[in-house]
Amino acid sequence: MTEDEIAQRKMQFLYALRSKGVTDKAVLEAMEAIDRGPFIRGLFATRAYEDMPLPIACGQTISQPSVVGLMTQALQISPRDKVLEVGTGSGYQAAILSKLARRVYTVDRHRRLVREARVIFDGLDLTNITAITGDGSFGLPDQAPFDRILVTAAAEDPPGPLLAQLKVGGIMVVPVGQSDAVQSLIRVRKTETGLEYDELRPVRFVPLLEGLGKDT
């Protein structure tokens, strides 16, 4: 692919993001800096720059870029923030977060996904990401509290253990819903007096499951 073709593809990619409501300058710059290509292997690699979710290993998916952008934008990340991501998946979302935050912790129940994501992070020299195999529904108590928490799997309600690990003044973005068909993306702000909820948009995510995956 020529340099002109690469530039054209990037321009179309960013235009698609803006047209879907991703307008935050820092988020757009982060998504321009992180190529989605390395995070998608096999049959679907040629579709990496389309605004669509794609299957990855372990029965999981990589979210469509516009949803990644909107979720990232909703977090309102500051450069000094420490962020927890629940659901590493391909590693693409964590890589975007790493361009905006001081430190990113990402946890996934599938050892294979964490292992493969680490290889990509090392290749991109993203040194501020710590990827961990574990049950993300319980967060990472040892590293808490977090300024921001992003959950990339759907729960029936915002998980209590994760809310407990969010700083006062912090924000959590999480898909909630009891079925694959009906889910809403929710933003939760933790204040001195309690929790404030905003409903952002309908989404579809894999369910948030307890325990570790069966893969090796």
Spatial contact of 107 and 85, defined as CB atoms under 8 Å apart: yes
Structure tokens at 188: 């939760």
Structure tokens at 137: 């529904």
**What letter represents residue 69's amino acid?**
G
Residue 158 sits at the vertex; the CA angle it makes with 153 and 160, to the nearest 5 degrees, is 115
Given the residues 63, 66, 98, 137, the one annotated as active site: 63
- DSSP labels, 72-115: HHHH---TT-EEEEE--TTSHHHHHHHTTSSEEEEEES-HHHHH
* Cα–Cα dist 65/47, whole Å: 12
Closest CA to 29 of 83, 98, 75, 119: 98
Report helix, strand or coil for 215.
Answer: coil
Residue 63 is among the residues annotated as catalytic for this protein: yes
* Cα–Cα dist 148/76, whole Å: 9
Structure tokens at 37: 């290509």
Closest CA to 153 of 197, 207, 214: 207
Catalytic residues: 63
